[in-house]
Structure 1
């Protein structure tokens, strides 16, 4: 999968003379091989991935920037065997990068998985003191209709959002709700009457907030409409953000907020979600915020 974000960080680390190995844990081509050992054979040593240019040895690895590994594909296998093979990759060689001793993870893949569960994220956000929109997660059409009548206008969102393509939120009216929600669990949320959006990117102990003015219900659908401005984060929000990251064991997070009033007022910020592997690089050029440098600093320093 094409992802320009790691390239920016790799270029910065190369400029600093920091050795870097890049690999895709889901890549099963001949360009990536892996061997891991444990127990009496190796006295506890762990193996690691090897690319055509260099190995990634466990000892020297001080940090791992975990982005979005590709899903393993097995077109030559039937569906059942392909499912079994994919599970072996994820739990076997794909687990080697998740078990490096003394390594700083940005973020650890297991912590990413924990934070991607939307019900857990909503519960943690409420406990940390964020203002949340009224939300229901259900597969019962009658409850959806009642929620729309009580909290309309309402939007429908996916609980698990795929990396590509972007799936925009959709408005929902009570009369439009048929039996479809009974097929699986859905998330419905009151639509926020907002004046702007804010993306807050946290890298280690550094916080970068960008106001996004788009005039769109979902700013992700058309980046050409955007204007950007770096803004400060009110102190109560800073404390809530850091508490949320501690809850999930994250050192990086990309938070989305809807802004309903003045940005200096903490109660104007409505928490929408936090992406533990979120994008940030497109915000750096228009704002001048040194996010690439901050991430390179964190990786170069290492130490969990």
Structure 2
């Protein structure tokens, strides 16, 4: 196989979603190297980059492959393990090693010459900030629910009072959280003004007008291909009890499709998982876009189509 067509997949070894695409690439005989830099680079893998006028050679060595990094066709940035440094070091030394790996290996892997990124890690990071998502969505023509992000309890309560249809609270980031030592998820939930206490002042909180929805929609965008799925759930946050939801394919209206294209272009994304609430009048309200959202939970035909489209992106490499 020709290593000049290699695809580099950056993810952890337990990423079963990535496995779906890797099987397709194997069937197409596209060479693939899988790397979890936060772990692999202190368990035997090595990464070298050189910078000089006119060239940027480099080498990635894993247990099974040696790869010229200047000849990587595409990079799929999936679910990397955190850069935590090798075990066995003191806390200070491990923290130092972890940060050097992040800024060193992370910088190399984000700057491979001529590679096609799905998505570029820096674009992913920029697109993960929910306030930036809402600002971009508004500019791109989406309907956006009235929203406030604040650490001022008075402003939060004032906002809640003026939303006749109710208000929901959403975390700004899915921070790992434990209650009595057990993992605990913070779901989207409805709140009343009287529930908003001065504890809001501890950090910014996000409150949003509740959309009187008929159903939810997930739109998975890969390049110029859109895959819409209608989600019917008894819960405000359909992620809470996914075993109770039903998913069926749905057409994406042209105005929404145009806004999706504009959004991806502005944030320089190839992939995006868009969530909408749709009212009985057929209005699609933008809720968020996860630039690296999961997609293999959708109906089998939709999942297979998304996998093929991602594989196509990785196989074709950079536009010429």
TM-score above 0.5: yes
Residue 132 (structure 1) aligns with = 144
Match of 2:228 among 197, 209, 223: 209
Shift of 1:29: 3.2
Q: 1:111 to 1:165 in 2, by over 3 A?
A: farther
Query: Aligned partners of 2:55, 2:141: CA distance in 1, in Å?
Result: 43
Residue 9 (structure 2) aligns with = none
Query: Aligned partners of 1:198, 1:48: CA distance in 2, in Å?
Result: 43
Equivalence map 1:6-85=2 (5 Å): 6-27=18-39, 28-39=41-52, 44-74=55-85, 76-77=88-89, 81-85=93-97
Gaps of 5+ in 2: 1-11, 177-182
Query: Aligned partners of 1:32, 1:189: CA distance in 2, in Å?
Result: 46
Deviation by residue 1:190-244 (Cα, 9 ceiling, x = unmatched) = 1211111100001111110000111210001111111111111111111100000
Say whether 1:293 aligns with 2:312: no
Equivalent residue pairs, number? 298
Say whether 1:155 aligns with 2:168: yes
Q: Report the TM-score, using the length of structure 2 for normalisation.
A: 0.87
Deviation by residue 1:22-48 (Cα, 9 ceiling, x = unmatched) = 1112214314221222127xx632424
Q: Could you say what the CA RMSD is over the residues aligned between the two structures, in angstroms?
A: 2.0
Are the aligned partners of 2:57 and 2:70 in contact in 1 as well (CA < 8 Å)?
no
Query: Aligned partners of 1:30, 1:82: CA distance in 2, in Å?
Result: 14
Residue 193 (structure 1) aligns with = 212
Shift of 1:62: 1.0
Are the aligned partners of 1:58 and 1:100 in contact in 2 as well (CA < 8 Å)?
yes
Are the aligned partners of 1:104 and 1:299 in contact in 2 as well (CA < 8 Å)?
yes
Instruction: State the SS of the aligned residue for 1:114.
Output: helix
Q: 1:80 to 1:15 in 2, by over 3 A?
A: same
Between 1:187-196 and 1:286-295, the stretch displaced more is 286-295
Gaps of 5+ in 1: none
Residue 293 (structure 2) aligns with = 278
Shift of 1:170: 2.5
Query: Aligned partners of 1:80, 1:289: CA distance in 2, in Å?
Result: 45
Query: Aligned partners of 2:230, 2:303: CA distance in 1, in Å?
Result: 13
Shift of 1:102: 1.2
